[in-house]
Amino acid sequence: MQHLMYSGGMGERRTTVVARDEDLALLQREARNRGLSLGRMLGEVVARRADELRQDKRPRLGTFSVGQDIADSEAQENPAARRFRSA
């Protein structure tokens, strides 16, 4: 088990992380190469994942294509809806 403490702009909180030994060893080596503590490295990983989750929850607008001009479609179904000017 590894204790995690990340200093962020909104405060910090200690917690316990349960992870596989080989995963923690890999992150420990990367942290050492970057001159960070394992706790700081884990904090960056948590912050990155939290940002991804926030992005996933943002509303998205969908687009679609009907393959045909909507005005033309209406004119075919209802001749009175024909355009009075050409485009």
- Reported as a single tens digit per residue, the pLDDT across 4-39 is 554 445 688 888 989 999 999 999 999 999 999 999
Class of residue 70 by CB neighbours under 10 A (exposed 0-12, middle 13-18, buried 19+): exposed
What's the rounded mean pLDDT across residues 38-44? 93
Higher local confidence (pLDDT), 6 or 68: 68
Say whether pTM exceeds 0.75.
no
Q: Which residues contact 2 (CB under 8 A, 6 or more apart)?
A: 16, 17, 19, 24, 38, 39, 42
Give the integer Cα–Cα distance in Å for 48 and 6.
12
Q: Which two tokens stand for residue 65?
A: 């294509």
Q: Report the pLDDT value the prediction gives residue 56, as an integer from 0 to 100.
A: 81
